[in-house]
Amino acid sequence: MPQREVAVGAFSRWVFTAFLSTWGIAALAALDSSILFSLPFAIDAAVVFLAAQHRDLFWLYPLIVVPASLIGAASTYWIGWKIGEEGLERFVRKKRLQAVHRRVRRSGAFALALLDLIPPPFPFTPVILVSGALDVEPHWFFLTLADVRVVRFGGEAVLALFYGDLIVAWLQSDVVRTIAAILFLLLLVGVGISSYRLVRSTSQRRSVRA
């Protein structure tokens, strides 16, 4: 087997081992709701995988994922509040930003949080970011979001009891693991770019305020 294939296989196994664990899924949940990280279906697949692998603990994974994801969402909301409306275009494409902006202005905190029930790849993270920039009432927004995510991840854990075996077999295939490793590398690049944009946006806003 070529050395490159061995390296890719080892790296993909490391990615799966790192995130498909108790601490790994908590980190993934927090990152999944942050503006620095975007991998549709990743956290949902992880919940199903772990619940199917450890069926006696299927109830535990939603309890880990929900608070961790809310921490990530809170950080995104805070970033939106910090950069303001003028800094949003650095994180969200202009065409998508206009649509999200209209939706946030038309809807209240409760209706916005309910959008999280729309399955991936619906871009919910930009909704959180714009909500922070427009000072959407955080109390009702996060209270509703917590309830929605209990339903979402709890439902996935229950479904894993019945259909998890098929998904586990699919996720453990070499093709899926290789794709996951490649996407993870691309995400690291994206995190670096987003972090640079965040630092630049906040520094520019401080300069304007000064």
Q: How confident is the model at residue 143 (pLDDT cuts 50, 70, 90)?
A: very high
pLDDT at 158 over 90: yes
8 Å CB contact between 28 and 43 = yes
Mean pLDDT of 76-80: 92
Tell which residue, 157, 110, 99, 104, has the closest CA to residue 129. Answer: 104
pLDDT in tens, 99-110: 888 888 888 888
Task: Spell out the residues 6+ positions from residue 80 whose beta carbon is closer than 8 angstroms to its own.
Answer: 88, 128, 129, 130, 131, 132, 133, 134
pLDDT at 71 over 60: yes
Q: How confident is the model at residue 7 (pLDDT cuts 50, 70, 90)?
A: very low
Q: How far apart are CA 4 and CA 182, in angstroms?
A: 13
Single pTM value for the model = 0.75
Q: How far apart are CA 155 and CA 166, in angstroms?
A: 17
